[in-house]
Amino acid sequence: MARELFGTDGVRGVAGDKLSADLALALGRAATLECPAGRPQVLVIRDTRESGEMLEAALAAGVTAAGGDVLLGGVLPTPAAPLLIGRYGFDLAAVVSASHNPFHDNGIKFFAADGFKLSDAHEERVEEILRGPARPNPDIGRVRALHGTQEDYLRALETRFQGLDLAGVDVLLDCAHGATYKVGPEVFRRLGATVTTIGAEPDGRNINDGVGSTHVEALAQAVVAGGHDLGFAFDGDGDRVLAADRTGAVVDGDELIALAVLHLRREQRLGGGVAVTVMTNYGFHTAMREAGVEVATTAVGDRYVLEALREKGWALGGEQSGHIIDMGFVPSGDGIASALLTLEALEGGDLAERHAMEKLPQQLVNCRVADKAAAMAAVEGPAADEHAALDGRGRVLVRPSGTEELVRVMVEAPSAEECEAVCSRLVAIVDAAG
């Protein structure tokens, strides 16, 4: 049976409405019952949203009602979950976060004992338990705080990048008022960088509000105004990063991945090719072809990139949005680690002088709609015609969001003018239909 609650990255919705405390409790209970361990040890971490504490408590109630023990790890970036699973041998981890979404949204995603997010089949079984009759369980679990989790995560980053000396590097970090607001600046300082921060004062409601990787223009302006060498913008849960060079030019995930590919290949740590999604710029594929690096293309979503990496035994993959997975560190996107990998790849050089790839002009518009199905039905034919007209010169990709009521229209063309014209025509169709 198809999943009804789980999207491409867990269960998301407006906190207190779609994602209620009752649903969080039910999800915690069902995921624990599905866990094969006799008395599951379940880690729970969260970002800085005001609803996080409520959902954390409800999840914990569900886990303990199913006979599991809960370890509360506090506010941490999402990639800390698989790292702590490996360190402590947890049977399951739950992350309470809606990533780059506004504060009134929240979400719950699960990691299994192997450190990977639950598979589609596993999530389907969790939903089957939710739909089924209640199972009485006389064994009640316990809840306790897990101290030192931030230090555990910082130590893992320091160990991975112990050869990276950032003395003399002036970096600006935008922490999106989210989960990286403490650990992000701290690890850069420990590695020797001069660190300035924005978006590092969470109040429960300001997460992603005009800051972070979804508002990277704020970082770009601040880098230039402050005379910094470069800057990095994380998203709310810390699994993505975008950058800005000293001139204020934004560096997206495609360029960051290209830099990392060439660096890891030089270091003989690439392990083969690279996995990216259908959203990846055509210029990336050109650069990889010229470098002799094999590219696997997947559907949008880090889970699909990760599946390709596991299947092929490769080390690196990611998305244009800045969700970059380095299997040599953790099987999840990690914005802080990806930022440090970028600096490692530069080998003391200037991000403004990068030459990893040449981007084709691209325009991406997120169209908010009331009916994704109707909007997609109206635009599919015109999108195919526009794509055919760009054959050999560019491309068109139109797809519904897996987590929001959006239709995403993406166009690449040889010139910015043609790109904008094609995109405008398709957006008008979506807006009229949706």
359's tokens = 């981007």
Q: In angstroms, rounded to a whole number, what is the distance separating the alpha carbons of residues 243 and 321?
A: 11
Catalytic residue among 51, 97, 99, 332: 99
Closest CA to 236 of 211, 261, 268, 259: 211
Closest CA to 213 of 99, 82, 134: 99
Active site residue 51: no
Contact 292, 41 (CB under 8 A): no
**DSSP-assigned letter for residue 348:** T
Q: If you write DSSP's letter for every residue of 41-60 in order, what string do you get?
A: EEEEEE-S-TTHHHHHHHHH
> Please, what is the Cα angle at 317 between 249 and 207, to 5 degrees?
55
309's tokens = 């990496």
Laid out side by side, the sheet with 11-14 consists of 11-14, 105-112, 92-96, 41-46, 69-75, 143-145
Contact 305, 317 (CB under 8 A): yes
Closest CA to 56 of 78, 37, 75, 41: 75
Output the CA torsion sign for 351, 47, 44, 142: positive
SS (H, E, C) 397-408: EEEECCCCCEEE
| Residues that are catalytic | 99
